[in-house]
Copies of this chain bind each other. A is one copy, B any other.
Amino acid sequence: MTKAQTSPAESAAGPLSGIKIVDLTRVLAGPYCTMALADLGARVIKVELPGRGDDARHIGPFIDKKSAYFMSVNRGKESIALNLKLEEDREIFEALLEDADVLVENYRPGTMEKLGYDWESLHARFPRLIYASASGFGQTGPYREKPAYDMVVQGMGGIMSLTGHPGGEPTRVGTSIGDIGAGLFTALGIVSALYERTRSGTAQGEGRRIDVSMLDCQIAMLENGIARYFATGKVPGPLGARHPSITPFQAFKAKDGYLTIAAGNDTLFTRLCELLGLPGLAGDARFTSNEARCQNVEALTAALEARLTGEPVSHWLALLGDAGIPCGPINNVEQALSDPQVLFRNMVVSTEDPDVGEVRMAGNPVKISGFADPAARAPAPELDSGRERLLAELKARKKAAE
């Protein structure tokens, strides 16, 4: 089977161009992290299990038996299949680390130690190497060796207790925020360590060990749920589609569906009431401050919806939008991906997969001056498709060193 290789030259140039990342990660948190780094210009070499590869290759949805899920978080990477329990493959892996800047892994804590690739050993051997781990619960603490996936940390971290409707059944955030949060914090730690390494006292700069836990990241993202709990001692619950401490800041029912309106400060609220032909509301003592509006949110919602349900969503978006009231539709995925602003911002990019043709996916939201933001990106790699080039590079390097 002849497969097109992903060329590193095809990767987007960016502030991290020239950085080489050896990537042992699987499924989502780690691959999402390294995709963000690849989008910023880094070269990412995915080290996968021979035969099977990243588990995500076997998770749907599939296009012609290829995982669109895998393709969408691994674009622009290279792949080499190595069994880290075999001496021959370990040699290749260690040779890859020799001039790597970063090693990222998201195994369960303990796995890398068993392979002899713990931080202490690798740091002694490759002092410049930044070694980042993303795991369910972190490298320390009583749960260190427990397995976790997105669902588990969404449940444990409290976000599910804030999501959904009062008295309703448990509700997961509809995207894997447990993985994505950890992926982003891991990427932030890695780039910070790359920056720091340029100015360490030692000749070449020192690598650091980065330890990110999915559960920790859920806590870091709980935001005002924590403030509310510590300020009041009351345990906050889910609030449907409204903000806990800004009102109005929620979904409202119109004639043919819902829209969002976020007019929490007094100026915006007064303007909103005027536009809706309800000027009396702005002067109503129950609604004259954000605090008062939060306390009387049911009454306010009823009063606003009595008017809003009289006209369709499009009517209100035009009227309120023109007047500068923050508002918007509640888009489904199709509508979001065809939104003119989303398309203008190049947030839907495409790759050309050698088997299935064009595959579209989310673009890079970090827009930086001086770097192109190409609409066409390198596809996700076939398993082991980078082997020949990588081995040739290692050979050439060895020769040059002789």
Contacts and interface: CB of A to CB of B under 8 A. Distances in A.
Given A68-B230, A328-B148, A344-B141, A164 B170 contact: no
Nearest to A321: B146
Interface stretch (A79-87, A246-254, A273-281, A384-392): A246-254
Of A181, A245, A262, which is in contact with the most chain B CB atoms at under 10 Å from its CB? A262
Interface string A281-312: 00000000011001000000000000000000
Contacts of A237: 332
Contacts of A359: 230
A51 interface: no
Nearest to A253: B169
B229 A333 contact: yes
Contacts of A179: 223
Of A18, A142, A173, A209, which is in contact with the most chain B CB atoms at under 10 Å from its CB? A173
A370 interface: yes
A327 interface: yes
Contacts of A217: 365
Contacts of A164: 164-165, 171, 174
Nearest to A259: B155
B333 A235 contact: yes
A55 B268 CA distance: 13
A402 to B, nearest CB: 28
A376 B111 CA distance: 33
A77 B294 CA distance: 29
Interface stretch (A88-96, A188-196, A393-401): A188-196
Contacts of A223: 28, 32, 72-73, 175-176, 179-180
A331 B61 contact: no
A3 interface: no
B192 A15 contact: yes
B333 A369 contact: no
A216 interface: yes
Contact of A249 (B149, B189, B363): B149
5 contacts: A152-B326, A155-B251, A206-B370, A213-B345, A235-B332
A-B complex: 9 closest residue pairs judged by Cβ atoms: A162-B174, A15-B196, A158-B336, A209-B369, A141-B344, A163-B174, A149-B262, A216-B365, A61-B231
